[in-house]
Structure 1
Amino acid sequence: MDIRLFHIFRNTPLGRETFLQSLYFCDKVDAVPVIYIPKHTKFLMYFDNDVVQVDLDESYLKSKDTALEHAVELIKQKGIKPVFFEPKNFTASTLPDIPSNFDFMCCPRSISDLSSKIGLGYIGSRVRRIVRSARFSVLMTSLVFKEWKSIAVFFGGSANAVNALKLGFRISKRSGIPLDVFSQLEKRTRKDLEKIIADANLGQEMEQLTGRWRIFETGSLEENLYEIPHDALVVLGAYGHGLIKEFVFGSKMEMIQSEIANNMLIVGPNYMECR
């Protein structure tokens, strides 16, 4: 069965950059892009334990007459066979239901509430709830399309970090792109991290697939982020706490996503490894 990435198409210059990133990702990992050209500014996504209403910016409905044409034009350049998604079920006449049985979902990169007007919902609520609730991982793109030359996995030893490492290995194997692991030593030692990797039966993959394991013993994580290649796909785990409307990724995740401009593949607390 094909793996699938869900993408909401926006017929604007910024939307083009995001779409190019999705197509590049699909090309690298041999995934099928499932493209939704919205006719309404809202939709619902149903997850196992949550229902998320996503409110799109009005820019998603701009130039509707040329949206399909522009999407097809970009797809042809990549030689990828897409699937165009048309909602079949509606909670209300202008509120379509979107399934959540995808392997990945692409969200434009937005950091502050003001800049989120160019993105999908709010990173402070809608996107965070998708990350929290989804069984798939979320591709959060940079503002401008960029190819990635390596995969950088952040590994601190948590259960979500183990899932991020597994996903990094999976992406590396499917794409043939080299993988590096980055760890900031704080409460755990290198031996602690090695044991966690061994207990997760990832020792062999760690040895075979990892180009380097960079362990930072000095300096703050914020300072050491400079060592992350700017053209790497960053893979990391996000865990949540707090109220539903104020879902927090965790202090490290918050700092990382606000400091680097890389494309990021985010693994949430309900992520389940799939194909």
Structure 2
Amino acid sequence: MSERLLHVFGNTPHGREALLQSLHFCKTLGVSLHLHVPQSKQFLMYFENDIVQVDLDAAYLTSPETAEDHARQLAEGCGVKINFLKPRNYTAPNLPDVPTRFNYMACPRGISDLSSKIGLGYIGPKVRRIIQSSLFPVFLPGRVFKSWRSITVFYGGSGNAGKALHWGVHLSKISGLPLDLFTFREGRAEDYFSAQIRASGVWEQVQRHLRAWHQIDRGGFEESLYAVDHEALLIVGAYGHGLIKDFLFGSKMETIQAWMPNNMLVVGPNCVLGP
């Protein structure tokens, strides 16, 4: 059974670009696309330990009569089949339950917020909540469609970075794209990071797919990001400790998504790699 990606489609220019990114994601990785065209501004997602109510930006309800046709046209142009998701269960008459049994979810960085904030490197609170609660990683598409030709994992030696690395190896394997690692050493010895990967049991798999490992030991973190391939899909692990309002804020992950125009896959604290 192929992996599946959930995409919530907004029938706008921004929504078009986001869908093109998801179509490229699915075609590159052999993932099936499941598209939800919202009929109301709100929906619920039931996770194992949380219930998230998503309050969409009103733009998601633009021209609903042409939304499915526009989505089909884009998918046909990319050679990808769309599976339209029609919610079956409703918590309230205008509050559908959107399933969560997917392998990925495409989530514009401010799904509940004005698009002007997205350009400022802003991750909306509902997107953070989904990242924290979901068993799947969240795909954050860039503002304008751009294909990616490699995979870069930000690896700092933590447990969550280890999860991101496992996903990076997985995506490199199924796509055939080269894998790069990016490490900001922060005073640690070079062999510390390779020892962490060996201890996690994934070192041999990393070596089979690894093209380059950028270990930066000087300058500031923001400055070092220039070394990241601009044609890469970025994979980043997100921490889940602290209050919801502090989730990701101020962390290197927040800096990466604010500074980098690349598409990103964010691996949250509850993500699992498997069927």
C-alpha distance in 2, partners of 1:98/1:162?
30
C-alpha distance in 2, partners of 1:35/1:155?
32
Residues 196-246 of structure 1, C-alpha deviation per residue, up to 9 Å, x if partnerless?
111111111121110011111111211100111212110010103332344
Letter of the structure 2 residue corresponding to residue 123 of structure 1: I
C-alpha distance in 2, partners of 1:184/1:52?
34
Quote the residue 1:221 is aligned against: 221
Contact 1:238/1:249 (<8 A) preserved: no
Letter of the structure 2 residue corresponding to residue 171 of structure 1: L
Quote the residue 2:2 is aligned against: 2
Contact 1:240/1:249 (<8 A) preserved: no
State the secondary structure of the residue aligned to 2:40. Answer: coil
Quote the residue 2:63 is aligned against: 63
Asked if 1:157 corresponds to 2:162, the answer is: no
Q: In the TM superposition, what is the alpha-carbon distance from 1:164 to its structure 2 partner?
A: 0.5
Q: Where do 5+ consecutive residues of structure 2 fail to align?
A: none
Residues 49-88 of structure 1, C-alpha deviation per residue, up to 9 Å, x if partnerless?
1111111011111111111111111111122222110001
Contact 1:113/1:123 (<8 A) preserved: no
C-alpha distance in 2, partners of 1:227/1:240?
27
TM-score (normalizing by structure 1): 0.94
Letter of the structure 2 residue corresponding to residue 43 of structure 1: F
C-alpha distance in 2, partners of 1:223/1:58?
37
Q: In the TM superposition, what is the alpha-carbon distance from 1:125 to its structure 2 partner?
A: 1.1
Contact 2:57/2:112 (<8 A) preserved: no
Contact 1:131/1:268 (<8 A) preserved: yes
Percent of matched pairs sharing the same residue: 50
Contact 1:124/1:247 (<8 A) preserved: no
Q: In the TM superposition, what is the alpha-carbon distance from 1:250 to its structure 2 partner?
A: 5.3
Quote the residue 2:26 is aligned against: 26
Q: Where do 5+ consecutive residues of structure 1 fail to align?
A: none
Letter of the structure 2 residue corresponding to residue 53 of structure 1: Q
Q: Judging changes above 3 Å, is the alpha-carbon distance between structure 1 residues 146 and 69 closer, same or farther for their aligned structure 2 residues?
A: same
Quote the residue 1:49 is aligned against: 49
Asked if 1:239 corresponds to 2:213, the answer is: no
Q: In the TM superposition, what is the alpha-carbon distance from 1:248 to its structure 2 partner?
A: 2.9
Contact 1:109/1:143 (<8 A) preserved: no
Contact 2:57/2:114 (<8 A) preserved: no
Contact 2:44/2:96 (<8 A) preserved: yes
Residues 177-207 of structure 1, C-alpha deviation per residue, up to 9 Å, x if partnerless?
1111010112532222111111111111121
- Within-5 A mapping of 1:1-275: 1-110=1-110, 115=115, 123-186=123-186, 188-249=188-249, 251-275=251-275
Q: Judging changes above 3 Å, is the alpha-carbon distance between structure 1 residues 269 and 116 closer, same or farther for their aligned structure 2 residues?
A: farther
Q: In the TM superposition, what is the alpha-carbon distance from 1:256 to its structure 2 partner?
A: 1.1
State the secondary structure of the residue aligned to 1:153. Answer: strand
State the secondary structure of the residue aligned to 1:98. Answer: coil
Deviating more after overlay: 79-88 vs 36-45:
79-88
C-alpha distance in 1, partners of 2:245/2:181?
32
Q: Cα RMSD over matched residues?
A: 1.9
C-alpha distance in 1, partners of 2:259/2:250?
14
TM-score (normalizing by structure 2): 0.94
Q: In the TM superposition, what is the alpha-carbon distance from 1:111 to its structure 2 partner?
A: 11
State the secondary structure of the residue aligned to 1:54. Answer: strand
C-alpha distance in 2, partners of 1:112/1:46?
18
Letter of the structure 2 residue corresponding to residue 24 of structure 1: H
C-alpha distance in 2, partners of 1:162/1:214?
16
C-alpha distance in 2, partners of 1:15/1:274?
29
Letter of the structure 2 residue corresponding to residue 179 of structure 1: L
